[in-house]
Amino acid sequence: MIRLFAAVPVPDEIVPALARRQTGLEGARWRTAAQLHLTLRFFGEVREDLARDLDLELSTLGGGPFEIVLEGVGAFGEGGDVNTIWAGVAENAQLRRLAKACEAAARRVGLKPDKRHYRPHVTLAYLRHPAPAEVAAWIQANNLLKSPPVWVDRFGLYSSFLGGEGALYRLEAEYAL
């Protein structure tokens, strides 16, 4: 079994703007530059044979390059149960089509549908029982985030290995758009 997800990498030129925001929350487990990505579809634990089939399906998606803009910040969870803070992505029909195509590819190889509503974002940190007022203050201080347009001409299939310092990601395959 291999833990997989499809994602758009965060370009090197955007990382410093995100890194400047990765401060100010006690106990936050900030993501490193190598961990920053925009998930299209998390597949979870996949058998090796299905992973090969998934790779073939993803290699056919195409659709053409497009631009996205990182915009705003937010959190998943409520109150003391907030567990993630993220940088948002401005609404983008092409990005949504690519995410839906990754979902369709997963279903074609026999994976179960993802029942979560797709909310494009770049995870900046994971939190464990933060003070709600600190999270609210962090969101207020960083909510004007707006990147220059980011050119998306590829996406990748990544494996994820859980370790003591968080997940380690490895690019397994890359697909041109």
* Rounded Cα–Cα distance for residues 88 and 160 (Å): 22
Average pLDDT, whole number, for the chain? 95
Region 8-26: mean pLDDT is 95
> What domains sit in the chain, N to C, each tagged with a CATH number?
2-176 (3.90.1140.10)
pLDDT single digits (tens) 106-165: 999 999 999 999 999 999 999 998 999 999 999 999 999 999 999 999 999 999 998 776
For residue 167, the model assigns a pLDDT of 85
Is the entire prediction scored with pTM above 0.85?
yes
The pLDDT assigned to 163 comes to 77
Statement: residue 34 has pLDDT above 80 = yes
Q: List, for residues 58-85, the tens digit of each pLDDT value.
A: 999 989 999 999 999 999 998 889 999 9
pLDDT value at residue 148: 96
Residue type, 100: K
SS (H, E, C) the chain: CEEEEEEEECCCCCHHHHHCCCCCCCCCEECCHHHCEEEEEEEEEECHHHHHHHHHHHCCCCCCCEEECEEEEEEECCHHHCCEEEEEECCCHHHHHHHHHHHHHHHHCCCCCCCCCCCCEEEEEECCCCCHHHHHHHHHHHCCCECCCEEECEEEEEEEEEECCEEEEEEEEEEEC
